[in-house]
Chains A and B, each alone.
Chain A
């Protein structure tokens, strides 16, 4: 069973704080990792992808990957109320095609002013 687990949340942080979202996966063969943001009633929007161990930064977002621990995280610095959404972790397993992603259940983030 190839599972992706996320901290269940909901997560609530004040504006300007760092929000930390975590994800673990069960398949050691996983090779590609994605974070999607989904606003209520909307479709998922890709915000970060990471393929190798370490950190990857894009603006206020930093993705961290540790394949040995089977762990991927997303940090949102200087959180804004507009960041309030559900964040989905997605994993592509080795040998699987591009369009076949395994998703976690998501973590709901609320940033309060």
Chain B
């Protein structure tokens, strides 16, 4: 069974540009979450989607946006890139949303490494 797939894996962008990252969840998983990981802030939650609807949103500026498609694939977009946006962006999927129960948790993809210069 294939895991969570993220593309691209590595990318370099210039300040002021925008970037779109893609995530394909595990087959059958309908919930997708996005996280940003930096050395200074650790892992921080960006947003969560289920059935094309945003269910939860972290404390990030409006430059960060996302969406989910009918096939559960998700994209996140960062506009007007800043140097501080350089990070590992992680997508995670789960079978369903709602509160966790035994055996129901999230699984991370390999991540997209974004460098802003």
**Which residues of A line the B interface, CB within 8 A?**
31-32, 34, 36, 42-46, 49, 51, 88, 90, 92, 94-106
* Minimum Cβ distance to chain B for residue A34 (Å): 6
Q: Measured between alpha carbons, how far is A32 from B105 in the docked complex, in Å? A: 10
Cβ B106 vs Cβ A101 within 8 A: yes
Do A98 and B111 touch across chains, with their CB atoms under 8 A apart? no
Residues of chain B contacted by A42 (CB below 8 angstroms): 110
User: Judging by beta carbons under 8 Å apart, are B100 and A32 in contact?
Assistant: yes
Q: Report whether over half of chain B's contact residues are helix, strand or loop; otherwise say mixed.
A: strand
Most chain B C-beta atoms within 10 Å of own C-beta, residue among A36, A44, A45, A100: A100
Q: With an 8 A cutoff between CB atoms, is B27 at the interface?
A: no
Q: Give the A-B pair count, Cβ closer than 8 A.
A: 79
B96→A106 contact, CB < 8 A: no
Are B42's CB and A98's CB within 8 A?
A: no
Q: Which residues of A contact B96 (CB under 8 A)?
A: 98
Cα of A32 to Cα of B103 in the assembled complex, Å? 11
**B8: min CB distance to chain A, Å:** 15
Tell me the residues in window 48-80 of chain B with beta carbons closer than 8 Å to chain A beta carbons.
Answer: 48, 50, 55-56, 58
Chain A positions within 8 Å of B107 at CB level: 46
B48 & A100 in contact (Cβ 8 Å cutoff): yes
Q: How far is the CA of A33 from the CA of B3 in the complex (A)?
A: 22
Verify A34–B90 contact, CB threshold 8 A: no
